Amino acid sequence: MGSSSSIRFFSTLAQSLSSAPLEHTHTDADECDLEQSDPDALLRECEEVLRNRPPRPHRDFVRTRASASHNPQIRVMQWNILAQALGEGKDGFVRCPMEALNWAERKYLILEEILTYRPDIVCLQEVDHYYDTFQPVLSSLGYQSSFCPKPYSPCLDVRGNNGPDGCALFFSRQRFRLLRAHHLRLSAMALKTNQVAIVATLQCRITDQIFCVAVTHLKARSGWETFRGAQGLNLLQQLNGISSTESKEQEQSIPLLVCGDFNAEPGEEVYQCFLNSPLGLDSAYRSLSADGTTEPSFTTWKIRPSGESCSTLDYVWYSRHRFSVDAVLNMPSEEQIGPDRLPSYHYPSDHLSLVCDFSFIQEPHRLM
């Protein structure tokens, strides 16, 4: 995959975003023949490998005002983990030593973050080591998964790459049953784009509740605000179509969880489209603010040759009338992040993970 001929080939393809279909998507079968790993043992292994690195920033869960539900909680993680090829070959983190990005250790930092919080659902972006790392490791921990690569991933322009990056969705087999999975290629202004999404319909094995969870990664960079807005509208339309179909089959509305790196600040059009969508969505991390209407100051903080960037770009959207936000993982302080920002020896990505605890709000007719 890393030969110069393949780099030239994929670079040429990327010149024009045609309507080529999604390829090389993957969804696990429900069965898993792998021997199950002990998550505590794997966490200790991570800590041993990383013993010469500074510890990760300590973060606490903050209980919210809405945490009155007695239903079983669902822990959701949203995280752009930074594609290895981009971190080493394209992103230009000028204050991050190359040794800190060494995959042999950085993968343990990523796994340590996941294992520390033990989410029931994991939504990741910029995954370029799905097949050789995340799928086998997390499958052995009891997760079922689905992967959708970008049609023309910029990772393929990097020598020695590990294939295209994309979105990956993992969920606990013990907790959920997969009913359906959709791999979407997002459109903007009637044109197919390089951005994708996964939408999975899951059934909770404890409550029998059915819901949809989606993961996406919208177009990056300033100057593309209108484009991102069009992508967001297209995703909302497709989510509405999928949830409407599911609702007709279930004879009740299907709640949504939508996780992603939207590459958009709260003032952007795409954020407002989601906040004001007829799907009734809200952003879980707004519950950290005193008035419940303000996002955190940042979810990514990096230094590139163009300068320092401290932005809120990542979100966990949820159906406000169907889910209760019981707790969210708070953000580290500037002091914890450090003067060289992210990524670093103590944190593997330029984006911080978002972790939320949700519970279903019982519908009135189901209480009778």
279: left (phi over 0), alpha (psi -120 to 50) or beta: alpha
**Rounded percentage of the chain residues whose pLDDT exceeds 70:** 89
For tokens 């370029």, the residue is 128
Q: What is the pLDDT at residue 24?
A: 77
Helices 39-49 and 103-117, packing angle to 10 deg = 140
Residues linked to residue 188 through DSSP beta bridges, in sequence order = 191
| 174 CB burial (10 A radius; 0-12, 13-18, 19+) | exposed
Residue 164, amino acid: P
Q: Which helix (H) or strand (E) holds 39?
A: helix 39-49
> And the tokens for 336?
């914890």
User: What's the mean per-residue pLDDT of the chain?
Assistant: 90
- For CA atoms 317, 348, 114, 150, the dihedral sign is positive
For tokens 């070959």, the residue is 89
| Cα–Cα distance for residue pair 41/32, rounded to 1 Å | 20
DSSP letters, 229-295, are: HHHHHHHHHHHHHHHHHHHHHHTS---EEEEEE----TTSHHHHHHHT-TT-EEEGGGGGSTTS---
| Cα–Cα distance for residue pair 131/16, rounded to 1 Å | 27
Domain boundaries defined on the chain: 4-15+55-366
| Cα–Cα distance for residue pair 46/218, rounded to 1 Å | 31
| Residue range 4-15+55-366, CATH number | 3.60.10.10
Q: How confident is the model at residue 364 (pLDDT cuts 50, 70, 90)?
A: low
Question: Is 29's pLDDT higher than 90?
Answer: no
Question: Is 217's pLDDT higher than 90?
Answer: yes
Least confident of 116-130, 153-167, 297-311, 353-367: 353-367
Residues in Cβ contact with 278 at an 8 Å cutoff, skipping those fewer than 6 apart: 240
Q: What is the mean pLDDT of residues 253-264?
A: 96
